[in-house]
Structure 1
Amino acid sequence: MLERLRLQSTFVQDQSGIAITEFAICLPLLLLMISAGIELTNFVMVRQQVSQLALQVADNATRIGTQTSVQTQVNEKQVNDLFQGANLQATGMDFQRNGRIILSSLEVDEDPPKGQYIHWQRCYGSLAYPSSYGVEGDGKKTNKGSFTGMGPTGGKVTALPGIPAIFVQIGYQYQPIITSRFVPTGPITETATMLVRDSRDTSGPGINPVAGVTPSTC
């Protein structure tokens, strides 16, 4: 009887397996927290990359063109090259499949009432992401006089007389590395705008056609 009591007392006092048991219980929660941290960190980095891409596209679009003796002329090949450069900048994101760039030239209509209008608009990428702030022809062919610029209410971008504003919208569907449960749903969206820095030719279609080159229309 005494021997049995001693064995029971020894068994009760033996705590050598408690740490392993507690670790086994906490391991799933620990892995969940690590996974969430990795996914959220990656999401923030991708969002920053999309924001930088929007700024870069807007900046490059203000510089492209062929300088003549009077003005800078833009053609379809130069716009397509701009998009290819953006795709290279987004290396690893498979942007052509998962993203969409909407590039717009916002200008002042020379005809009365001399309001804002979208002269031309070009797109790149397969993501179903429509423009939130207007399409080509808005302010001229449609909504003439009532189209006041591009951007959210209270923060609309406007062009200056003779100086177009390049407006860029980007949508990108985030591709999780572990799971999408820890990040916001829907595409990452960013906008950027810059004024053209040279005397750009805005006559005609605004973008000159090039033989054998397919325009990146929206």
Structure 2
Amino acid sequence: MISTLSSRARHMLSDVRGVAATEFAIVTPFMLLLYIGGVELGNGLAMNVKVSATAHSVADMITQNTALTTTQMDGILAAATATMAPYPIKNGNTSLMTITVSEVSTDASGNATVRWSKSTSASGARTVGQAMTLSSFTAPGGTSNANISLILSEVSYDYTPNLGFTIAGTVKLSDSYYLFPRCSTNGPATLKPPYYDVKYPATSTCTCVQHLQKKTC
């Protein structure tokens, strides 16, 4: 009896059949987790790049104008959503993306407030007169943060992982850009500062394509 049990024990210890299947069963869950996590991380990073590109594109398009009508503003915001392709911007009737553009102007003391704001969301626009905080700076040519205007573009996107929703839920991706208006019809001899701004909403428009070029419409 003892010799039989000993023989069977030695046989079991030397039997390597099914080892590969056992190792595969142990490793597979971890490999799947790494694969799924890599896919979701890649999608999230790609969408985040798209969000940043959208924010920059909106600010860039707005700053090429001295004045915009409501129709033009709506067209720019609608066109900017195409930057997110091929990722969806709606989940059924629910918008996944919010774009808000505002003009922030400063007084002679450098105090910044919102002059106007427009958003693709009914509740996304900033309040006119809202105080804003800008970093103190001096641009080339001696321009300081007094009596200036900046265009602020803000974009947010609700990203829901396809496979990891139960772990991460919905992740809000967001980015913002400040850009100087590129040209203006304002001038020290005719109008009060800021001299470079974008008027909205306006009944007539003027567009320039060169940085800080004064242009008469």
Give the alignment's TM-score, normalised by structure 2. Answer: 0.68
1:73 paired to 2:67: yes
Alpha carbons of 1:200 and 1:42: their partners in 2 closer, same or farther (altered >3 Å)? farther
Q: Gaps spanning 5+ residues in structure 1: where?
A: 65-71, 139-146, 211-218
Q: Which has the higher strand share?
A: 2
Q: Could you report, residue by residue, the CA deviation over 1:81-110 in whole angstroms, capped at 9, with x for unpaired residues?
A: 11111111112333351111111011245x
1:192 paired to 2:177: yes
Alpha carbons of 1:7 and 1:73: their partners in 2 closer, same or farther (altered >3 Å)? closer
Equivalent residue in structure 2 for 1:116, among 94, 112, 115: 112
**Coordinate RMSD, CA, aligned:** 3.4
Distance 2:111 2:31 in 1: 58
Q: Could you report, residue by residue, the CA deviation over 1:34-90 in whole angstroms, capped at 9, with x for unpaired residues?
A: 1112211221121121112111111111014xxxxxxx3311111011111111111
* Number of the residue aligned with 2:22: 21
1:182 to partner: Cα distance: 6.0
Distance 1:123 1:159 in 2: 25
Aligned residue pair count: 183
1:33 to partner: Cα distance: 1.6
Distance 2:102 2:149 in 1: 10
Contact 2:44 2:159 in 1 (8 A): yes
Distance 1:47 1:92 in 2: 13
Alignment of 1:16-55 (within 5 A): 16-55=17-56
Alpha carbons of 1:199 and 1:100: their partners in 2 closer, same or farther (altered >3 Å)? same
* Number of the residue aligned with 2:128: 136
1:117 to partner: Cα distance: 2.3
Distance 2:78 2:127 in 1: 22
Distance 1:100 1:119 in 2: 20
Give identity over the alignment, percent: 21
Structure 2 SS opposite 1:167 = strand
Distance 2:51 2:57 in 1: 10
Alignment of 1:53-92 (within 5 A): 53-64=54-65, 72-92=66-86
Distance 2:112 2:10 in 1: 88
Letter paired with 1:32: L
Give the alignment's TM-score, normalised by structure 1. Answer: 0.68
Alpha carbons of 1:61 and 1:159: their partners in 2 closer, same or farther (altered >3 Å)? farther
Q: Gaps spanning 5+ residues in structure 2: where?
A: 138-143, 187-193, 205-217
